[in-house]
Chain A
Amino acid sequence: MTAIPQVGSGVAAPFVFATAQYESGDWDSAPLVPANVIDAIARYTTIAVAPQGIIVPLASEEVFRSPLLYLTGHLPVRFTPKESEVMAAYVQRGGLLFIDDHNHDIDGPFHQSVVEEIRRIFGVMTKLPNNHELYRSFFKFENGPPATSHELNGWGDNLVHEHLQAILRNHRIGVLYSNKDYSSEWSYHPDNKRFLSVDNTRFAVNLVVYALTR
């Protein structure tokens, strides 16, 4: 893992992909996602990106040095008071928390528990319109969030979820919640992209570009 440049070090820090580590559940269920997203950023853009991601304890102040945070899991989630407090402050200050249900199942334990936790900490999520600027921040996704192979193959809840959900702060996405299971979709070695006709990590590029520019 890459060390985060010290706060105030003056080093023009490249973008570092950060994964949130929380106490309950299985925060590390998609270990290949960071490398794949980093590969996509380097492949399509000129954004300076750290070659490796970092893991940030959700209850620590280090969270505030990573304004984009990726959080996923399969298992029921119950954030500690400190984690809840940090998450609330993180979003209020302008951070973007991307939460993906690794189960792709609206009846799954992660979905049910994390949605309840989001409601407790941030309030009720709203559907993100499919013409939101997130879907054209780099690549254009005319129909909103791209469907995953897990949705199309009928796994999980056997549904294609039409929208992502979000908590908006000052007209910007503060929390982005997906139960499309991008964690499974992007969890492979980047070298294997050559077998894909269309790179399915392109939406990750949109997410990072949105986070860095909005």
Chain B
Amino acid sequence: MRGQIRARVELVLRLGALGALVTALLLVVGVFRAGAPGGTPVVFQTAPIGAVATRTFASLVQQSLLDVPTTADGRANPLRPIHLLANAVPDEAARALASAARVAGLPVSWSDSTANRAAIAVEVQPLIDPKGGYTLRVAAPGGVEIALQDSLGLIDSVRAKFGGANLEVGRVAGTVRAVAGNSVAASSVPIAPALRRILLFAEPGWEAKFTMAALEERGWIVEARYALGKNVSVTQGAPVNPDTARYSAVIALDSSARAHVAAIRRYAATGGGVLIAGAATTLREFGDLLPGRAGPRQSGIPGALATATPLLGLAWRPMTPDSNAVVLEHSARKGTTNATLVAKRFGAGRVAAVAYDGVWEWRMAGPDGSVDAHRQWWSALVSAVAFAPEQTRDASGIPLQWHRDEPGRAAPYADTHARLGEPVAMPAVTVRTDRALPWELLLAVAAVLLLLGEWGSRRLRGAR
């Protein structure tokens, strides 16, 4: 009796092992998946590993495209859709693959489970400044903490406000990466622009002196020609007619620019940057080169020069912008919204007009730190209009090449939108992750164990 029971148990073990082996085999060849009804999406989720494993995803796409299920009457069912559940932004390869699958006719959808925390993008822009440096601009939802790294390591971390954050850094190497949780945006560091000289049109005076000093101290090379009498002029550098081949910007401070209006207009039209300040803003000869109309000159607020808002202490001419100009700065005075800085495009170049007059007084009579502030103010104005083409060769004449980023690298979340369309609601199916348990292996192990049990049982009772 006991022998019969034992033989039946051994039979059950054998059959169990056989069933496990067959099931594992069927899983390996994909019978169960292929047998799923057409139209039911296969869902891949991108977290917690941060991205869909490209190889798994690729095999799924391939399988979905090749194994077109058929109905009983032989007609092809619709291709099996793929749905990406984006707990984090899919990586570049996965996005490209999904996009290619969509183009090939495979329905690919996605649902955004990042709660918008992954919507980051990064841009690296060189500063138009002789001191060099870069501005790192990060777009991200408010409150998101972003770590900025380059190829040498962590640069800094910033908390996004109002949709992003900016950071100015002196040097960065290789590739800048913005990391927020599982999301990563990356941008290559572009080549610094080629900066040229500045040409100053001014009469000898304190404004000319201190404008030149501020710019030179910042690292700009400034050239000027001062008319000091009939056929007498004093030059700084070797000034020539304004030309984009030599000058990044031209500054006109007073009526001495009158004799050069035609050349300045030509320079701006061909891409040069022009900054018009002080009495030069009233020169009618400039015509439509001026981005705004300067009003009558007004005194500064007495005593304001030595305060935290020294610009209020300077004389100024309120600017009325032209219709095609933009106001870059308004006066901080109470009761007025007049512009103090207006700019517009002129041909291929840019022109800005500054309302302030006698800005040198800020440097000499302003509060502590005025020298630096005055220096940075002038340099920033010049940077705003300067002609600064991309460098093509380095100092030794070797051609420079910059690997431009794919847009999706710098803004992967936006790229996901662009490639996969708007996210949809999560379909009601079982979620498959690329970290699912290896059922095939487990079944094979179970089969081996069952067979071992059956063999052991037979050996213990003396059977072969």
Contact = CB atoms under 8 A, between A and B. Distances in A.
B363 A65 contact: no
Most buried by A among B226, B234, B300: B234
A127 interface: no
Contact of A10 (B229, B357, B364, B371): B357
Given A7-B313, A46-B228, A170-B216, A212 B204 contact: yes
A47 B228 CA distance: 6
Interface string B329-373: 000000000000000000000000000011011011100001100
B424 interface: no
B112 to A, nearest CB: 55
Interface string B191-223: 000000000000111101110110011000000
B315 A8 contact: yes
Contacts of A33: none
Q: In the complex, which range does the number of interface residues on chain A fall in?
A: 20 to 34
Interface stretch (A92-100, A118-126, A157-165, A184-192): A92-100
Given A170-B213, A213-B224, A213-B234, A95 B364 contact: yes
Contacts of A213: 204, 208-209, 212, 224, 226, 234, 236
B301 interface: yes
A95 B209 CA distance: 10
B314 A67 contact: no
A135 interface: no
A65 B364 contact: yes
Interface in A44-87: 44-47, 61, 64-65, 67
Contacts of B316: 10
A170 B371 CA distance: 12
A15 interface: yes
B260 interface: no
Contact of B227 (A46, A65, A214): A46
A7 B361 contact: yes
B70 interface: no
A8 B234 contact: no
Interface in A82-134: 90, 92-95
Contact of B315 (A9, A15, A170, A209): A9
A198 interface: no
Interface string A175-214: 0000000000000000000000000000000000101111
A59 to B, nearest CB: 15
A137 interface: yes
B450 interface: no
A209 B229 contact: no
Q: In the complex, which range does the number of interface residues on chain B fall in?
A: 35 or more
A162 to B, nearest CB: 25
Contact of A209 (B204, B313, B370): B204
B234 A93 contact: no
Given A7-B305, A8-B302, A137-B234, A92 B371 contact: yes
**What does DSSP make chain B's interface, helix, strand, loop or mixed?**
mixed
A152 B97 CA distance: 91
B151 interface: no
Given A8-B305, A45-B228, A67 B358 contact: no
B324 to A, nearest CB: 28
A212 to B, nearest CB: 4
B224 to A, nearest CB: 7
Contact of A15 (B205, B226, B314): B205
Contacts of B227: 46
Nearest to A206: B234
A88 to B, nearest CB: 13
A1 interface: no
A6 B236 CA distance: 30
Interface in A2-19: 6-13, 15
Nearest to B316: A10
A15 B209 CA distance: 12
B315 A10 contact: yes
Interface of A: 6-13, 15, 44-47, 61, 64-65, 67, 90, 92-95, 137-138, 170-172, 209, 211-214
Interface of B: 203-206, 208-210, 212-213, 216-217, 224, 226-230, 232, 234, 236, 254, 279, 297-302, 304-305, 313-316, 357-358, 360-361, 363-365, 370-371
Given A10-B299, A213-B208, A213-B236, 5 more contacts: A7-B313, A8-B302, A10-B315, A67-B206, A214-B236
Return the 5 tightest CB-CB contacts between A and B, nearest first: A8-B300, A10-B315, A212-B204, A10-B297, A64-B364
18 contacts: A8-B299, A9-B300, A10-B316, A47-B203, A47-B205, A64-B364, A65-B364, A67-B209, A67-B210, A67-B360, A67-B364, A94-B209, A94-B371, A95-B364, A212-B209, A213-B234, A213-B236, A214-B213
